[in-house]
């Protein structure tokens, strides 16, 4: 029997409309824009960025233990991170001109206390950072995390990574951007609710996009497994966050964790054509007392007796340290707590350079 | 002719204490108009008489109305002879097949020519366009099912219907497997706690199954579909039948495939075929105790089954066979003291016993579990045919069921024969010690020394449903139904953990050597220990619903089916706390256009809302349990130290806010009778299930990555679950079904259905956080919640079903083909806090791809498509044996012996993506059926 025209119309509508609707039934399309893609997976991170005991397949298994040092008689905390990969093998590991440094988008650096996330973004109405907010939100919704443009990546074979935990700062000024809304460089440079200097891609270039213009400062932002346990000296945690001195930011919509060492000063007398990081001195006693045996044993970095030249915030502070050992006066009676107390003749240059970030003063 | 009732009767009927209706429609209806062929004038006063083997109480007779219309209601499914007679003329006869829950339109244009053919019996007619309802789905009859190879379980054959996927508890058009209602002769046997089917039925006692997938009228209240069984009644002739079905591993191809998706059989693998057999025996007797007055049908089935997991990883020891024994008994009495009354009593019992239920190669016999289940249920119904315009139905039913689970050694005998004396495992595995705790080794997923928790779980249900059906005229023709549905449910639960504790070990390496056994100095694998005291609790709930549904025929081509229902349900836990007090309003509106005005081309549009006001599942979880303490191994102290607690009086919270869980559904359907006894249809369904119940962990504060718990809201290291119905917990389904159903001749049966569907949303599994499958719970770890919005695990994009059979002179050949595209899977990553793979790094239905921190690399993951083809070949020796039907059948399952993976490894382990399960290999089932 011939199907009436009305039937044919209905049939056609029934077939076509739902199919079109069906094609729009992609739940992933709702994720367009600047959504959180979760935490960075550290599966390809070099071992030093996973923490002690870290397993790339089991995020959170590593631990970063800050240690105690002394600076002019006062205790400070720092994390000793040895140079790694190609940087460790470089003839001049302090020269940044030979390495490709990623950008780091730093929100409101001049209007925000050192080592803190910017609070100049727009928080949700009536937002209160309380226990419930801590439970619900991965990050504070009244702060804006800084944005990274590269992750540490292990080489194949391991040990030859070119990653250097230093970023070239791009200063970003908050205007009316919702907090934690921007999570990637791509999103950030396209926004009109922030202010930053932009560098368009060269004309005719393919695959390149607009980026921020570096401010000229270098920051030690050591990306780590964001799930790793980070502890203040003695295993202490921050009373409010129950976390250590690590900070959190964003990379390509993924949540990252990092150890913030602050601004790296550049040596004013860098040889021509180089950009050398200025260092401060880090001393450790060559002999320490083994409390169990009562014997003197060789000392090493990070045993709680290290001496730093400067504290963070002081002129002369650098998160890069040149390492020296020193002969303590009498380890049985106690240790020097200031470099000034050490006999210069008893100091030996080990030739080693390490990253020695100190946490911001407020979080100590 | 009686004077027509108008709708003033309705409120009175609602108040009548014995106005009644079934929850599920068990009968069909015949209706139509008799006209004079020459003038098209209606013929009032024509006599319509129906008789059939299913109809107790003798033929039913009605007269056509002044407009020539007639209808005969409450007709049990079956074949009927319709006789149309007019005073002074010879009668006209037709034969029709009435299907459960459906209306058969039989309009007759009478002429002298037809009168001359008065005594001719026309072939059986089947009308499947359902011209008076918006309901989608179909009716599966015992007759159809006897023509194809099936598992002989009502739960499985539902898969033949368009829009149905999943397993024994099916997903119907995108709803969860816990969203369906199961009715047997009107009794709601949906489990009060799990909301899944709660009883098994002797397959030979099932007369027909109405599978309603959408467009439900107001008498139904289901977030998913409704599976409505009617069991076989007696008749005026005694009938005895018996059958025996045999399955055995010798009649099956072994399952010896590689673990990679692309690997086929391993031709050089030489391992013994593990036991795999099944023996099903049924006996059915039915007939009249008093002809036309009292019928009886008695049915019994015994099923013995042995199944085994093929030898293989992880333990490489032949797992003990799973042995099951089921005893299914059913009795149905039908009594018709007069033409106005029909009483039906149904009683069922389904005890079953299962040994070694795990079957996963991850445990030795000593760590196996045992389950016993089943119960008894009964319903009595009274149909009262007051007049041609009014009939009532009253139902009252009860059910008791139990599910007891625990270590195999507690209930039965441990089978250690496969490894006793091997020397590979310690002596602790060779005998059962009720006080020895279970160890789980997270390094290889194995379980040791002990089965799981010992639980005794009992459920009780009482149901009372009165309703009234009224037919009349007011601005058109109405067929209205009003009713009240009430249910009281009770659940009691006892649980104890053998040894009072259990271990979750990890890091010590695979196998028994990796376990945490400090008593022998083996501590490498020590991780978590959970101490759980024994406890008991019970919950009770009730619901009351009232519905009104009209089928309003405004003109010959336009119907409007308006309806609504109100439901209220309340549940309470052991503490006397009100866990839920939910009200739901469910409007239903259907519009039906008869495009060709001959009942052959129907376009329907429907909107309806169903509400779930009664479920003890939330109350069962939101109840007092003892405080369980989880301890973590301290490597420095060499001992377990407290990590967190769960349970206890403060281990849960109730959230009185939140809407009632509900489904909104829009259905558009076009149906056309394109051939004799054949219908083709296109159905589009949009369904959104909202405010799904769930348990929200509200005390743990996770680190920003969701890997470690760093603090607690109340400062106490414990888990607190809040039972709630979040607005964000939903699932959405879009689906379009193309269906062709045909029974052109008695010898042929054909049904083809293709479904294109999309199912997505965060509502994957209810209460996953507390049911032990944290990997699926979106409300356990807030850092993971946003990953739970994606294609759901039950999303099957393409589904093709074909059922075909042909019979000729005793020979029968039937086939069922089912093609399903793959199911979404989500890669899971290690969670340091849980010591297990519970975290996600990409949305549901995906994995992060090759570049782990690049969203453009995220890729959808699905299991491969699965095609199964089952075949039945049978021959009936009736021509040789005369009065006796003796049929010999051979059923081939998975005829092409396809080996598509049905489950893959989704954890972030080296074997990620490898096959964990495949479709069952080719097997042959032999059967013999005798009936007299």
| B120 or A176, higher pLDDT | A176
Residue B737: name the closest of B818, B675, B682, B779 by CA: B682
- Measured CA to CA, the distance from residue A25 to residue B699 in angstroms comes to 35
Structure tokens at B910: 């080296």
pLDDT digits (tens, 9 = 90+) for B446-486: 999 999 999 999 999 999 999 999 999 899 889 999 999 99
Interchain contact B214–A (C-beta under 8 A): no
CB < 8 Å from B in window 5-24 of A: 6-7, 10-11, 14-15, 17-19, 21-22
| Identity of the residue in B706, B844, B853 whose CB atom sits nearest the CB atom of A41 | B853
**CB atoms A60 and B829 under 8 Å:** no
Check whether B581 has a pLDDT greater than 70: yes
For chain B, percent of residues with pLDDT exceeding 70: 95
Residue B377: name the closest of B593, B201, B517 by CA: B201
Rounded to a whole number, what is the largest CA-CA distance in chain B?
Answer: 105
Check whether A27 has a pLDDT greater than 90: no
CB < 8 Å from B in window 293-322 of A: none
Residue A53 Cα, gap to closest chain B Cα (Å): 13
Residue B395: name the closest of B329, B344, B331, B337 by CA: B344
| Identity of the residue in A11, A35, A57 whose CB atom sits nearest the CB atom of B682 | A11
B537: CB partners within 8 A, 6+ apart: B492, B493, B573, B574, B620, B623, B624, B625
**CB atoms A28 and B843 under 8 Å:** yes
Check whether B14 has a pLDDT greater than 50: no
pLDDT digits (tens, 9 = 90+) for A238-254: 988 999 999 999 999 99
Least confident of A6-15, B231-240, B377-386, B726-735: A6-15
**CB atoms A252 and B854 under 8 Å:** yes
Please count the CA atoms within 13 angstroms of the CA of B736 that sit on its side-chain side. 17
Print burial letters for B457-481: b (CB count within 10 Å at least 16), e (below 16): bbbbbebbbbbbbbbbbeeebbbbb
- Measured CA to CA, the distance from residue B105 to residue B70 in angstroms comes to 10
Structure tokens at B423: 């020397």
Query: Cα B346 vs. chain centroid, distance in angstroms?
Result: 21
For every residue of B603-652, which 3-state class applies, written as one string?
Answer: EEEEEEEEECCCCHHHHHHCCCCCCEEEEEEECCCCEEEEEEEECCCCCE
Interchain contact A71–B (C-beta under 8 A): no
Closest alpha carbon within chain B to A8: B670
Average pLDDT over residues B288-301: 95
Number of CB atoms found within 10 A of residue B484's CB: 18
| Identity of the residue in A57, A138, A254 whose CB atom sits nearest the CB atom of B853 | A254
Average pLDDT over residues B369-374: 96
Q: Average pLDDT over chain A, rounded to whole?
A: 90
pLDDT digits (tens, 9 = 90+) for B856-907: 999 999 999 999 999 999 999 988 887 889 999 999 999 999 999 999 999 9
pLDDT digits (tens, 9 = 90+) for B235-250: 999 999 999 999 998 8
Cβ contacts of A61 on chain B, cutoff 8 Å:
832
Interchain contact B782–A (C-beta under 8 A): yes
Owner of token pair 């309380």:
A130
Specify the 3-state DSSP secondary structure of B97.
strand
Degrees, nearest 5: CA angle A225-A231-A234: 155
How high is the ipTM of this complex?
0.93
Check whether A257 has a pLDDT greater than 90: yes
CB B795 within 8 A of CB B764: no
Write the DSSP string, A133-184.
Answer: HHHH-SS-TTSB--EES------SSTT-----SEEEEEEEEESSPBTT---S
At A7 the pLDDT is 45
Residue A38 Cα, gap to closest chain B Cα (Å): 6
- Measured CA to CA, the distance from residue B232 to residue B808 in angstroms comes to 26
Please give the sequence-ordered ranges of beta strands (E in DSSP) within chain A, or none if there are none.
63-65, 67-71, 74-78, 81-82, 103-107, 147-148, 166-174, 194-195, 198-199, 211-212, 218-224, 229-231, 247-251, 254-264, 280-285, 287-290, 295-298, 306-308, 320-326, 347-355
Region of residue B700 (phi > 0: left; psi between -120 and 50: alpha; otherwise: beta): beta
Cβ contacts of B701 on chain A, cutoff 8 Å:
131, 134-135, 242
Region of residue B207 (phi > 0: left; psi between -120 and 50: alpha; otherwise: beta): alpha
At A227 the pLDDT is 97
At B306 the pLDDT is 94
- Measured CA to CA, the distance from residue B476 to residue B561 in angstroms comes to 12
**CB atoms B713 and A136 under 8 Å:** no
Check whether B619 has a pLDDT greater than 50: yes
**CB atoms B855 and A6 under 8 Å:** no
Interchain contact B842–A (C-beta under 8 A): yes
| Preferred mutation among A38, A58, A133 to probe B, highest tally of B CBs within 10 A | A38
Classify strands A229-231 and A63-65 as parallel, antiparallel or unpaired: parallel
Counting runs of H as helices and runs of E as strands, what totals does chain B give? 7, 56
| Preferred mutation among B673, B704, B707 to probe A, highest tally of A CBs within 10 A | B704
For the whole model, what pTM was predicted? 0.89
Interchain contact B841–A (C-beta under 8 A): yes
Interchain contact B732–A (C-beta under 8 A): yes
pLDDT digits (tens, 9 = 90+) for A48-69: 999 999 999 999 999 999 999 9
Write the DSSP string, B214-235.
Answer: E---TT---SS-EEEEEEPP--
**CB atoms B703 and A254 under 8 Å:** no
- Measured CA to CA, the distance from residue B779 to residue B843 in angstroms comes to 15
Closest alpha carbon within chain A to B699: A135
Cβ contacts of B763 on chain A, cutoff 8 Å:
none
Print burial letters for B577-588: b (CB count within 10 Å at least 16), e (below 16): eebbebebebeb
**CB atoms A27 and B708 under 8 Å:** no
The shares of helix, strand and coil residues in chain A, as percent rounded to the nearest 5, are: 15, 30, 55
Structure tokens at B304: 């013995």
Check whether B503 has a pLDDT greater than 70: yes
Q: Any idea what DSSP says for residue B776?
A: G
Residue B727: name the closest of B682, B679, B761 by CA: B761
CB B319 within 8 A of CB B415: no
Least confident of A138-142, A359-363, B4-8, B773-777: B4-8
- Measured CA to CA, the distance from residue A51 to residue B252 in angstroms comes to 54
């Amino acid at each position: 029997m011939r199907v009436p025209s009305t039937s044919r119309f209905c049939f056609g509508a029934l077939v076509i409309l739902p199919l079109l609707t069906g094609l729009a039934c992609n739940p992933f399309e709702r994720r367009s824009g600047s959504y959180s893609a979760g935490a960075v997976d550290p599966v390809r991170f070099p071992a030093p960025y996973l923490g002690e005991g870290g397993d790339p397949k089991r995020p959170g298994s590593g631990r970063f233990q800050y240690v105690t040092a002394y600076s002019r008689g006062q205790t400070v905390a720092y994390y000793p991170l040895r140079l790694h990969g190609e940087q460790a093998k470089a003839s001049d590991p302090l020269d940044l001109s030979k390495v490709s440094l990623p950008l780091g988008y730093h929100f409101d650096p001049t209007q925000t206390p050192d080592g803190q996330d910017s609070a100049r973004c727009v928080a949700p109405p009536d937002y209160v950072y309380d226990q419930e907010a801590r439970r619900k939100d991965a990050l504070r919704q009244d702060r804006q995390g800084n944005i990274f443009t590269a992750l540490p990546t292990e080489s194949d074979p391991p040990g030859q990574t070119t990653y250097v935990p230093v970023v070239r700062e791009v200063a970003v000024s908050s205007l009316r951007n919702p907090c934690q809304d921007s999570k990637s460089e791509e999103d950030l440079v396209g926004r009109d609710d922030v202010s930053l200097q932009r560098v368009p891609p060269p004309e005719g270039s393919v695959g390149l996009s607009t980026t921020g213009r570096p401010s000229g400062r270098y920051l030690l932002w050591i990306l780590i497994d964001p799930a790793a346990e980070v502890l203040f000296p003695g295993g202490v945690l921050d009373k409010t966050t129950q976390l250590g001195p690590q900070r959190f930011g964003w990379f390509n919509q993924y949540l990252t964790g990092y150890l913030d060492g602050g601004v790296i000063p550049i040596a004013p007398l860098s040889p021509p054509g180089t950009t050398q990081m200025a260092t401060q001195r880090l001393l450790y006693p060559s002999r320490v007392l083994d409390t169990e045996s009562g014997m003197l044993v060789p000392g090493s970095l990070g045993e709680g007796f290290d001496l730093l030249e400067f504290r963070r915030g002081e002129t002369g502070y650098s998160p890069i340290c040149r390492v020296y050992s020193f002969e303590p006066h009498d380890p049985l009676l106690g240790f020097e707590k200031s470099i000034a107390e050490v006999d210069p003749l008893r100091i030996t240059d080990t030739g080693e350079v390490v990253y020695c970030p100190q946490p911001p003063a407020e979080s100590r | 002719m009686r004077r027509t009732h108008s709708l003033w009767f309705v409120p009175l009927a609602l108040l009548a204490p014995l106005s009644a209706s079934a929850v599920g429609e068990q009968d069909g209806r015949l209706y139509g108009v008799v006209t004079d062929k020459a003038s098209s004038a209606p013929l009032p006063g024509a006599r319509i008489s129906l008789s059939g083997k299913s109809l107790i109480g003798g033929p039913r007779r009605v007269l056509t109305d002044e407009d020539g219309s007639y209808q005969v209601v409450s007709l049990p499914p079956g074949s009927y002879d319709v006789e149309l007679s007019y005073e002074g003329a010879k009668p006209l006869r037709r034969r029709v097949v009435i299907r459960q829950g459906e209306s058969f339109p039989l309009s007759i244009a009478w002429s002298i020519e037809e009168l001359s053919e008065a005594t001719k019996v026309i072939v059986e007619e089947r009308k499947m366009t359902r011209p008076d309802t918006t309901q989608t789905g179909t009716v599966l009859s015992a007759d159809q099912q006897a023509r194809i190879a099936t598992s002989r379980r009502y739960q499985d054959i539902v898969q033949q219907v368009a829009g149905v996927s999943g397993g024994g508890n099916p997903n119907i058009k995108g709803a969860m497997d816990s969203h369906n209602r199961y009715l047997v002769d009107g009794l709601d046997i949906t489990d009060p706690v799990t909301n899944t089917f709660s009883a098994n039925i002797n397959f030979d006692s099932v007369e027909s199954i109405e599978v309603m997938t959408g467009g439900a009228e107001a008498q139904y209240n289901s977030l998913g579909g409704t599976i409505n069984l009617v069991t076989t009644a007696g008749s005026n002739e005694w009938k005895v039948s018996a059958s025996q079905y045999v399955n055995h591993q010798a009649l099956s191809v072994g399952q010896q495939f590689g673990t990679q998706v692309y690997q086929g059989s391993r031709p050089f693998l030489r391992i013994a075929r593990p036991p795999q057999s099944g023996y099903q025996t049924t006996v059915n007797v039915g007939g009249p105790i008093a002809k036309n007055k009292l019928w009886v049908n008695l049915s019994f089935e015994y099923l013995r089954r042995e199944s085994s997991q093929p030898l293989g990883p992880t333990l490489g020891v032949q797992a003990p066979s799973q042995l099951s024994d089921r005893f299914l008994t059913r009795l149905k009495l039908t009594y018709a003291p007069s033409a106005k009354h029909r009483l039906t009593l149904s009683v069922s019992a389904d005890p079953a016993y299962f040994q070694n239920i795990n079957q996963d190669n991850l445990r030795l016999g000593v760590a196996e579990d045992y389950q016993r289940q089943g119960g008894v249920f009964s319903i009595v119904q009274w149909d009262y045919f007051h007049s041609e315009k009014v009939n009532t139905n009253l139902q009252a039913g009860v059910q008791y069921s139990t599910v007891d689970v625990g270590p195999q050694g507690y209930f039965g005998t441990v089978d250690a024969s496969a490894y006793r004396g091997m020397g590979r495992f310690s002596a602790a595995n060779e005998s059962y010690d009720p006080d020895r705790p279970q160890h789980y080794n997270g390094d290889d997923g194995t379980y040791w020394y002990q089965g799981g928790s010992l639980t005794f779980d009992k459920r009780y249900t009482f149901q009372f449903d009165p309703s009234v059906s009224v037919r009349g005229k007011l601005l058109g023709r109405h067929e209205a139904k009003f009713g009240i549905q009430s249910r009281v449910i009770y659940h009691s639960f006892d649980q104890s953990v053998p040894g009072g504790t259990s271990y979750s070990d990890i890091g010590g390496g695979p196998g028994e050597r990796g376990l945490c056994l400090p008593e022998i100095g083996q501590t490498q694998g020590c991780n978590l220990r959970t101490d759980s005291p024994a406890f008991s609790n019970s919950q009770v709930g009730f619901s009351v619903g009232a519905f009104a549904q009209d089928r309003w025929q405004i003109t010959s081509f336009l119907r409007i089916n308006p309806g609504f229902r109100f439901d209220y349900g309340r549940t309470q836990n052991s503490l006397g706390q009100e866990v839920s007090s939910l009200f739901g309003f469910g409007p239903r509106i259907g519009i039906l256009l008869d495009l060709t005005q001959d009942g052959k081309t129907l376009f329907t549009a429907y909107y309806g809302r169903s509400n779930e006001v009664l479920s003890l599942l939330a109350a069962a979880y939101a109840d007092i349990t003892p405080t369980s303490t989880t301890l973590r191994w301290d490597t420095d102290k060499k001992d377990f130290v407290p990590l967190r607690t769960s349970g206890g009086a403060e281990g849960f919270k109730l959230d009185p806010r939140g809407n009632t869980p509900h489904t909104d559904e829009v259905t558009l359907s076009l149906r056309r009778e394109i051939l004799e006894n054949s219908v083709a249809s296109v159905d589009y369904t949009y369904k959104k299930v909202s405010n799904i119940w769930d348990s929200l962990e509200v005390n743990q504060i996770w680190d920003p990555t969701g890997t470690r718990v760093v603090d607690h809201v109340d400062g106490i290291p414990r888990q607190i679950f809040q039972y709630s119905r979040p607005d964000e917990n939903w699932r959405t389904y879009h689906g379009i079904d193309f269906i062709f159903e045909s029974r052109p001749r008695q010898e042929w049966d054909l049904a083809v259905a293709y479904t294109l569907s999309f199912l997505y949303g965060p509502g994957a599994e209810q209460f996953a956080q507390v049911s032990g499958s944290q990997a699926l719970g979106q409300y356990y770890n807030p850092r993971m919640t946003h990953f739970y919005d994606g294609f759901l695990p039950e999303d099957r994009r393409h589904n093709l079903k074909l059922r075909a059979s042909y019979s000729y002179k005793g020979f029968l050949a039937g086939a069922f083909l089912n093609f399903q595209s793959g199911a979404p899977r989500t890669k899971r990553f290690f969670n340091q806090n849980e010591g297990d793979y519970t975290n996600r790094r990409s949305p549901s239905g995906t994995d992060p791809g090759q570049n782990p921190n690049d969203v453009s690399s995220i890729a959808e993951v699905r299991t491969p498509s699965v095609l199964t083809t089952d075949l039945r070949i049978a021959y009936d020796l009736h021509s040789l044996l005369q009065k006796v039907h003796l049929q010999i059948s051979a059923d081939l399952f998975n005829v092409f012996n396809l080996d598509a993976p049905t489950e893959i490894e989704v954890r972030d382990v080296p074997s990620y993506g490898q096959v964990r399960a495949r479709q069952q290999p080719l097997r042959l089932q032999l059967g013999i059926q005798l009936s007299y």
